[in-house]
Amino acid sequence: MFPAVAGRTVDDVLIPGINVRVEGVSHCSDILPVEAVSTARPGRCPDCQKQARRVHSMYQRTLNERPLGPRRVIVRLRVRRYFCDRKCCSRKTFVEQVPGLSERHRRSRTGLTGWLRSIAIELGGRPAARLCRRLRLTAGRTQLLRLLRAPMVSARAPRVLGVDEFAFRKGCTYGTVLVDVEAGRVVDVLPDRTSETFAAWLTKHPGAEIICRDRATAYIKAVKEAAPDAVEVADRWHLLQNLSAAVEKTCHQHRDCLRKRAEEETVTEVPEAAPMLLSPAELPRTQTIERTRHRYEGIHHLLEKRWTISAIARRLNLDRKTVRRFRDTDLDQLLVSARDRRPNGVLEPFKAYLDTSFIEAQGQVSGTRLFMEIQARGYRGSRQVVRKHLAALRAGTAGPVRADMLSPRKITSWIMRPRDTLTKSQDERLLQVRLACPDITRACDLARAFADLVRHRRGYLLLEWIRQAEQDAPKPMKGFAGFLRQDLDAVTAGLTLPWSSGAVEGNVNRVKTLKRAMYGRASFELLRTRILTQS
218-234 pLDDT per residue, tens? 999 999 999 999 999 99
Which pLDDT score, from 0 to 100, does residue 441 have? 92
Question: For residue 395, what pLDDT band results from cuts at 50, 70 and 90?
Answer: confident
What backbone phi and psi angles, to 5 degrees, belong to 136?
Answer: 60, 40
CA 322 to chain centre: 25
Which of the pair, 5 or 503, is modelled with greater confidence?
503
Rounded mean pLDDT of 455-475?
A: 92
Residue 492 has pLDDT above 90, yes or no: yes
d(CA 446, CA 484): 14
The average pLDDT across 410-421 equals 92
Bridge-based pairing of strands 185-190 and 71-83 is unpaired
CA distance 202 to 182: 18
List the one residue out of 303, 295, 269, 231 whose CA is nearest residue 459.
231
pLDDT of residue 182: 92
Q: Give 271's pLDDT tier (boundaries 50, 70, 90).
A: very low
Collect all residues with Cβ–Cβ distance below 8 Å to 247 and sequence separation of at least 6: 412, 415, 416, 443, 444, 447, 476, 477
The helix-helix angle for 367-376 and 383-395 (nearest 10°) equals: 120
- What's the mean per-residue pLDDT of the chain? 82
Domain 160-235+501-533 has CATH 3.30.420.10: yes
Question: Average pLDDT, stretch 150-168?
Answer: 89
Domain-by-domain residue ranges, the chain?
A: 10-107, 113-146, 160-235+501-533, 238-254+406-494, 268-395
Q: Which residue has the higher pLDDT, 398 or 66?
A: 66
Question: If pLDDT is split at 50, 70 and 90, which confidence band does 341 have?
Answer: low
What is the Cα–Cα distance from 270 to 350, expressed in whole angstroms?
A: 12
Instruction: Inform me whether the pLDDT recorded for 422 exceeds 80.
Output: yes
pLDDT in tens, 44-57: 888 888 888 888 88
- Coil, helix or strand for 71? strand
Alpha carbon distance 225, 33 (integer Å): 63
